[in-house]
Amino acid sequence: MATTTAPPPSQHIIASPKVQKLLQKLHSASEAQEKSISQLLFYLGRLARYYLFNETWSAGADQHMRDKFVSLEPNKCQFLYLLARSIGARNIVEAGTSFGVSTIYLALAVGQNAADPQSNLVAGAEGMTTRGKVIATEKEPTKAARAREHWKEAGSEVEPWIELREGDLLETLRVPDSLPEEIDLLLLDIWTPMALPTLEIVRPKLKRGAVVITDNTAFAKPLYEEFLEYIHHPGNGFKTLTLPFSGGLEMSIYLP
């Protein structure tokens, strides 16, 4: 396995030393996995099987990834945090939580936005209140359990702002009246065949100006073909741009 050094505490996010230390530890573990020869060969093999056999996923791939972080790189996570803060995001959906690393950044942003007296005040039954949550999704029970452990370790800055939906997200996100009236940000960090079906479920709840972030759209462009066709079609209401992060990061703004 490749060696790696922990990234320094980020100056781009507001978080306690405890949370910063936890994020360093999780990113280091994830980076070591991603740089290993076996994992690089796995990703190349998935692309080869797509080109040769039109195979997008398999039970064997599920088994291989069961203990893998597959978390976003630190710079992508920091970008997500700053983006969520800049748009005052209160309601976020994360498709593909894995061990819950990027969820920590999103929850920090939502909690801080909700606590800001100058933004996102909502009229409630008892006056002006603040609300917000990250709806996280994870199919694999062992990953969901690890994510909960990490959020518990992060503590009150993070854990109260997360609602984890365990199981098939195409079912858990479809529960009637279970999504917020308006969603500010959708993160698609999930296997490529799931990206478009997930977007189609969440789209009716996206507020005007909502942001959709999709990972690895340059590296895995052939696997995202239907998704990319959808968000580029002018009738679907998205303006989109591939940002030059590692593997490509698609930033799509919903402007119906």
CA 86 to chain centre: 17
Q: What pLDDT is attached to residue 2?
A: 40
Is 101 inside any structural domain? yes
Q: At 47, which CATH number?
A: 3.40.50.150
Q: What pLDDT is attached to residue 56?
A: 60
Q: What pLDDT is attached to residue 62?
A: 54
Determine phi and psi for 13, rounding to 5 degrees: -125, 155
Is 151 inside any structural domain? yes
Is 69 inside any structural domain? yes
pTM score: 0.83
Cα separation of 57 and 46, whole Å? 8
Is 11 inside any structural domain? no
Q: What is the pLDDT along the chain (256 residues), one digit of tens a residue?
A: 344 444 555 788 999 999 999 999 999 887 776 666 665 665 666 566 666 666 665 565 556 555 555 679 999 999 999 999 999 999 999 999 999 999 999 999 999 999 987 654 443 334 434 589 999 999 999 999 999 999 999 999 999 999 999 999 999 999 989 999 999 999 999 989 999 999 999 999 999 999 999 999 998 899 899 999 999 999 999 999 999 999 999 999 999 9
Is 7 inside any structural domain? no
Q: What pLDDT is attached to residue 134?
A: 98
Cα dist from 79 to 155, 170, 192, 229, whole Å: 22, 27, 21, 25
CB 24 within 8 A of CB 78: no
Range of the domain at 183: 17-254
- 94: DSSP letter: E
Q: What pLDDT is attached to residue 51?
A: 63
CA torsion through residues 190, 2, 143, 152, sign:
negative
Is 2 inside any structural domain? no
Is 177 inside any structural domain? yes
Taking CB atoms within 8 Å and a gap of at least 24, the contacts of 226-235 are 226/196, 227/192, 227/195, 227/196, 227/199, 230/196, 230/199, 231/199
Q: What pLDDT is attached to residue 39?
A: 59
Is 123 inside any structural domain? yes
For the chain, the domain total comes to 1
- 153: DSSP letter: H
